[in-house]
Amino acid sequence: MKKLMILLVSLVAICETTTAQNSCDRWYMDVNYTFLQPLQNFNANGFHEGHGASWGLYYDFKPNAQKVTFHSGLRLNGIVGKNAKDNIALADPVGATAKTRVYNSIFDAQALGRIILQPQNKLSLYLEGHGGLRVSTGHEKLNLQGNYPGYDETTSTQVISKANWNWGGGIGGLIRLHPMVDFDIRLSADYSPELEYIDMDTYEKIEDNLVYDFSKSNALNYKIHIGFRFKLGCKSDSNRRYDNRNSSPRRSRNRGGRAPSKKKPGTGSSSKS
């Protein structure tokens, strides 16, 4: 809990600092599909691969830079690991059956810094470092088959959970598809000193009982992220640019107009005053 509170305070401080800036044209957001491959002990002890998604928010400190710019930001990752599915008979309610699912999951909350090279080009490469909190959990889920009043249709039990620090780095590329949209692909590596999770290699169904062991190890892995980055524009800035474009022609027409004329008394003709 202490580690979680420290992380949350740090994230709030970063948000307060960045949102204090005047222009929101410096903000970017990305959404990515994420593939996780555990390595070394993390893989040998039965976590196996995972699939999920990541969401990030970034602030550009040098939006007009041509060669190098620096982004800071926050990222959330959610990963679901390999799972095992079965059908079992239940003792309660009597005669009922359920579909079962046993699996691991990971949640990351990270602060990061990113250096982007040639940010105005159609293709830009970047390097980043990140760190934060990682939570691993093991789940057992039951879906009751049939209608049984008074019983929950779905029951999800968190059978194990462990939180620890997580840090790493990555390299990626941005391909400009539109002034506001980039295709984003990234390869990253992460490490946590110790996590707990279900050893999926030990999973068995014995009669109608689900049997498995738990593992504890350090957690080294690599991730592949594929998705899109979006530039977040300012509505107020856009309105201000629109107003400036409309006001300028009116001033030029007034300066370039002819002088007014008036009719002479008793005639239908007119002359300049």
CA gap 237, 220 in Å, rounded: 44
Residue 19 in tokens: 């949102």
Please indicate, yes or no, if residue 22 is contained in any of the structural domains.
Answer: no
Residues of the chain with pLDDT under 70: 1-24, 234-273
Please tell me the predicted confidence (pLDDT) of residue 109: 97
Residue of 170, 166, 176, 140 whose CA lies nearest to 155: 140
Which residues are registered as beta bridge partners of 167?
A: 131, 191
C-alpha radius of gyration, the chain, whole number = 30
Amino acid found at 172: G
Q: What is the pLDDT of residues 153-207, one digit of tens each?
A: 898 999 999 999 999 999 999 999 999 999 999 999 999 999 999 999 999 999 8
Please indicate, yes or no, if residue 199 is contained in any of the structural domains.
Answer: yes
Amino acid found at 148: Y
The number of domains in the chain is 1
Please indicate, yes or no, if residue 83 is contained in any of the structural domains.
Answer: yes
- Contact yes or no for 153/145 (Cβ under 8 A): no
Please indicate, yes or no, if residue 273 is contained in any of the structural domains.
Answer: no
CATH code of residue 61: 2.40.160.20
Please indicate, yes or no, if residue 194 is contained in any of the structural domains.
Answer: yes
Please tell me the predicted confidence (pLDDT) of residue 59: 95
Please indicate, yes or no, if residue 272 is contained in any of the structural domains.
Answer: no
Please tell me the predicted confidence (pLDDT) of residue 272: 45
HEC states along the chain?
Answer: CHHHHHHHHHHHHHHHHHHCCCCHHHEEEEEEEEEEEEEHHHHHCCCCCEEEEEEEEEEECCCCCCCEEEEEEEEEEEEEEEEEEEEEECCCCCCCEEEEEEEEEEEEEEEEEEEEECCCCCEEEEEEEEEEEEEEEEEEEEEEECCCCCCCCEEEEEEEEEEEEEEEEEEEEEEEEECCEEEEEEEEEEEEEEEEEEEEEEEEEECCEEEEEEEEEEEEEEEEEEEEEEEECCHHHHHHHHHHHHHHHHHHHHHHCCCCEEECCCCCCEEEC
Range of the domain at 85: 27-234
Which residues are registered as beta bridge partners of 178?
A: 181
Please indicate, yes or no, if residue 10 is contained in any of the structural domains.
Answer: no
Please indicate, yes or no, if residue 258 is contained in any of the structural domains.
Answer: no
